[in-house]
Amino acid sequence: MHKYFIINFFFYIICFYIFVKNLAMKKHYLSFLIVVFATFIFFGCKTTKTDAKQEFSPKSKSVEELLKKGDQDLTARKYTEALEDFNKAAALDPYSPDIFNYRGMTKYYMNDYPGALIDFNKAIELQPDYAEAYNLRGIVKGELNDDKGACADWEKSYELGFKYAFVLLKKFCQEENNKENNKEMINKKQE
């Protein structure tokens, strides 16, 4: 519960009392203004975790600038500078899946696969239908020799509409499926 909720509630009660008193004195315009003001204060308070996330969600101009600069640095293969930009952006807006996706790509190019995996996981946690993040996480899992995990991520990415994932599925996962099918056939023959 928000720390000012109780204070706002009592303020609302006092405003309601003044409203009733003004109504009795036939000052309807004052009563109306007091109710509007009290309602604005009372219902304007943040009380949930979701509300707190929404406070950070709108990207400020500086976050947009950091993302743009980071993307330019990433394109120019200035990975250290790009990582610094994305770290600053993440500090300003910790609820943006795009920031974590960009930072994950940067860490991937810096060969920090475990760090990239953490960032792609965070991007997916923040936006579960983020097809590109699933695709990139699949690439990182492939680098970490987690073939089943990579194929599962590429399947999810494809299901979510990222069509390029089909190429990766066809190239890397059909072999995985063939290996699984061969193991099953061998096990059946041994039984």
What would the pLDDT profile of 81-122 be if each residue is shown by its tens digit? Answer: 999 999 999 999 999 999 999 999 999 999 999 999 999 999
Q: How many CB atoms lie within 10 A of CB 44?
A: 9
Cβ-based neighbour number of residue 28 at 10 Å: 10
Asked whether residue 35 carries a pLDDT value surpassing 90, the answer given is no
CA angle, residues 188, 190, 191, in degrees to nearest 5: 65
Query: To the nearest whole number, what is the mean pLDDT of the chain?
Result: 78
Provide the whole-model pTM: 0.63
